Amino acid sequence: MTAPELLTTIESIGGVLSLNGDRIHYELPEDAAPMLDVLRQCRDEVVRLLRGRDGPQVCRRSHPDLYAVALEEAAHAGPPPMPPGVTLLQWAPLSPPIAIESWAVVNDVPQFVQTTLSQLQAAISGENWLDGNRSIRDLVDRLEQVGVKVSVEEK
């Protein structure tokens, strides 16, 4: 997990990170204690990012807010083509960021859906190494967590 992903994940679960000199002050929910190890591993990068938040403001016209752009694109994106053997049951993508696992947050929902559908197609074809060694059920569950329900035909 990268430092920006860690910050996003911590903030999405209600945690707070701040600087006190060179020390990181944190407030985390009890179940997020494992994140402290990750925070220690990328401490210097987190400090740099936290310091950068207080830096100079940028022009939003030439540097748009990428989260706002992703939200806009997600609102207008239709469902991608389904792989063979997969039937779309519901298309109701949620607004990002979406915490889909204890260590993952989705910011680009259309890209996540497309990638997960490709992984699902690989899993159905028995090419587990191409789907991150996730089971078909895990991939279907990941899609459901972002608001896309599918069913997979039994062979």
Average pLDDT of the chain is 81
In a domain, 58, yes or no: no
pLDDT at 10: 84
Residues 136, 83 within the same domain: yes
Q: Let me know whether 29 and 82 are in one domain.
A: no
Whether the upstream peptide bond of residue 79 has omega within 30° of 0, thus cis, is no
Domain count, the chain: 2
Q: Specify the pairing of strand 86-91 against strand 23-27.
A: unpaired
The answer to whether residue 59 is domain-embedded is: no
Tokens standing for residue 80: 């991608």
Cα-based torsion angle of the residue sequence 42, 43, 49, 50 in order, rounded to the nearest 10 degrees = 150
Query: Residue 54: its pLDDT value, please?
Result: 55
Pair 7, 41 in one domain: yes
Angstrom distance (rounded) from CA 78 to CA 85? 19
Q: Which residue has the tokens 């035909």?
A: 153
pLDDT tens digits, 110-141: 999 999 999 999 889 888 776 677 889 999 99
Say if residue 99 is exposed, middle or buried (CB neighbours under 10 Å; 0-12, 13-18, 19+).
middle
pLDDT above 60 for 56: no
pLDDT higher than threshold 80 for residue 53: no
Asked if 30 and 56 count as a contact pair (C-beta separation under 8 A), the reply is no
Instruction: For residue 22, tell me if it sits in a domain.
Output: yes
| 79-102 pLDDT, tens digit each | 889 999 999 999 888 776 777 665
> Is 116 inside a domain boundary?
yes
In a domain, 91, yes or no: yes
**Looking at per-residue confidence, does 77 or 64 come out higher?**
77
Domain around 20 = 3-53
Residue 155 burial (CB count, 10 A): 6
- Tell whether 118 and 81 lie within a shared domain: yes
| pLDDT digit string, tens, across residues 2-48 | 888 888 888 888 888 888 878 888 888 888 888 888 888 989 998 88
Q: Is the Cβ–Cβ distance between 43 and 24 less than 8 Å?
A: yes
